[in-house]
Chains A and B, each alone.
Chain A
Amino acid sequence: MPEYTADEMMTIAAARMIRNGASCFVGIGLPSAAANLARLTHAPDTILIYESGCIGTKPTVLPLSIGDGELSETADAVVSIPEIFAYWLQGGRIDLGFLGAAQIDRFANINTTVIGDYYKPSVRLPGAGGAPEIAASSKEVLITLRQNKRAFIEKLDFVTSGGHFTGGDSRAKMNLPGKGPTAVITDLGIMTPDETTKELTLTSLHPGVTVEKAIESTGWALKVAPKLVTTEAPTETELRVLRDLNERTARAHAGQA
């Protein structure tokens, strides 16, 4: 079996969640890596959409920013920012929103705004970007981030993008267009919301990771599914395609400023 890192496992596990042919609104960073890996492996007909207005883009290297020239030059169409949000996202044309996060809580609500008091923050994070409307309007949402106690926390100081709010039917009552997060993919495993309570439950552990490790890397009492499964290890093809992509990207982003 090939060797791999926890980050590679996370990206590959996230990529596998993308259905071929889905229209996928992609955030920068980990989601972008996973979505492009999916497109280069099992989901060649996935339509990747970036908030810079690039629709059906097929980059050969991962973009550093959400609007790199690589994205617009390989897109089926490039539209303006008002159009991408109004006609495409708000218009209900997105099957899957794919987000990263700085912090997340047990109901998959996301904070990317501030840690601490809003007016006197201890850490000022970048803010919302497109995420609140991606989280509200995509038919389904995937979230990917590294798992540790600073990121997986009991109570968010700020809800930037809504997941399942206070759990149960709280999202349904808000009449949001989409059904919200369906999975959170980390470097340790995969969590999915409980059908009734909507609380994130550990349903899959990556090979070699212990339940204890997942629990102690979570800032709340993490629920574990009775039928916990082990994530299938990365295949040689998945690893090769991901590493080639990362190498091409590193080469493209190096060079002199």
Chain B
Amino acid sequence: MVRDGDVVALEGFTHLIPFAAGHEIIRQGRRDLTLIRMTPDLIYDQLIGSGCASKLIFSWGGNPGVGSLHRLRDAVEQGWPAPLALEENAHAGMAAAYAAGAAHLPFGLLRGYLGTDLPKYNRVKFIECPFTGERLAAVPAIRPDVTVIHAQKADRKGNVLMWGVVGVQKEAVLAAKRVIVTVEEIVDQLDAPPNAVVLPSWVVGAVSEVKGGAFPSYAQGYYPRNNAFYKQWDPIARERETFQAWMQRHVLGTRDFDEFKSSLEQAVTHA
């Protein structure tokens, strides 16, 4: 469901990051993608370092609490493995752009981008409030071709339930033309509490069960964030050679996420 040249959003704000789906995009060798994500995180480091992307729309691109995303930096600073165009935002602007996308409005509105140099380099414009005259920022809506998310549960009809840090996933799903969801488990009864974040099956294109599919991020109620892996990623991604060897061994050389995780466990055992 992801094609070369698509505008693709893989969302999940530190929680429920769709790593398994991202790996599959890398295995399929997709190219020329415009990748959207507020916090690119390790999965976009892997996609960018694997040459899948030609453009990145984002608002904070680091390895949280650890440091740089070295593959992202190499693409921006050295054009390796391919040049990467950036469209850079602040979180508040991206959140408003997704919300506008979900509402199928042309732009989002916020009291933001005041006193920052960012509007010199992105598509933010300032408009005057017709009622008060206040100067406000307008951000073009985000409308991905495909949004990919990971959630805790789906039922057999394809209704999707998520909880905890829910980020911007609901907006990203409703803004997209096509939607792919991976879940920790498919259950007979969703048992969603009233007002829970439920994405009804008719706005979801495909659901796939991938246990642990958000590793090394986390799925609340299932497994914690693997902070040790986030720290280990730093030396792996620092050099092109160690990155490529790791990707070859654990992602390109495996058929699916279960094999990926077994290969990681083997690497630890033999270390």
Contacts and interface: CB of A to CB of B under 8 A. Distances in A.
A41 interface: no
Contacts of A85: 91-92, 95-96, 110, 112
Contacts of B69: 126
Contacts of A69: 15, 164, 218, 220, 224-225
Contacts of B62: 126-127
Contacts of A78: 164-166
Interface in A114-170: 118, 121-124, 126-133, 135-137, 158-162, 165
B115 interface: yes
Nearest to A62: B65
B68 interface: yes
B90 interface: yes
A202 B87 CA distance: 38
Interface string B202-231: 000000000000001010100011111111
B13 A81 contact: yes
A118 B121 contact: yes
Q: Give the size range of B's interface with the partner.
A: 35 or more
Contact of A128 (B118, B170, B220, B231): B118
Interface in A1-55: 28-29, 51-54
Nearest to A129: B60
A126 B67 CA distance: 8
Given A65-B230, A253-B228, A130 B117 contact: no
Contact of B38 (A81, A90, A122, A160): A81
A89 interface: yes
Q: Give the size range of A's interface with the partner.
A: 35 or more
Contact of B226 (A81, A160, A174, A257): A257
Nearest to B225: A68
A68 B216 CA distance: 12
Given A63-B65, A158-B117, A128 B14 contact: no
B189 interface: no
Nearest to A61: B227
Contact of B65 (A28, A137, A159, A162): A28
A116 to B, nearest CB: 9
B44 interface: no
* A127, A130, A135, A254: most-surrounded residue (chain B CB, <10 A): A127
A65 B225 contact: yes
B177 interface: no
B178 interface: no
Interface stretch (B26-34, B71-79, B143-151): B71-79
A124 B72 contact: yes
B77 A128 contact: no
Interface in B1-40: 13-15, 38-39
B115 A132 contact: yes
B99 interface: yes
A185 B77 CA distance: 31
Contacts of A71: 165
5 contacts: A53-B167, A132-B116, A256-B228, A257-B228, A257-B268
Interface of B: 13-15, 38-39, 58-62, 64-66, 68-69, 72-73, 76-77, 88-92, 95-96, 98-99, 110-118, 121, 135, 164-168, 170-171, 216, 218, 220, 224-232, 264, 268
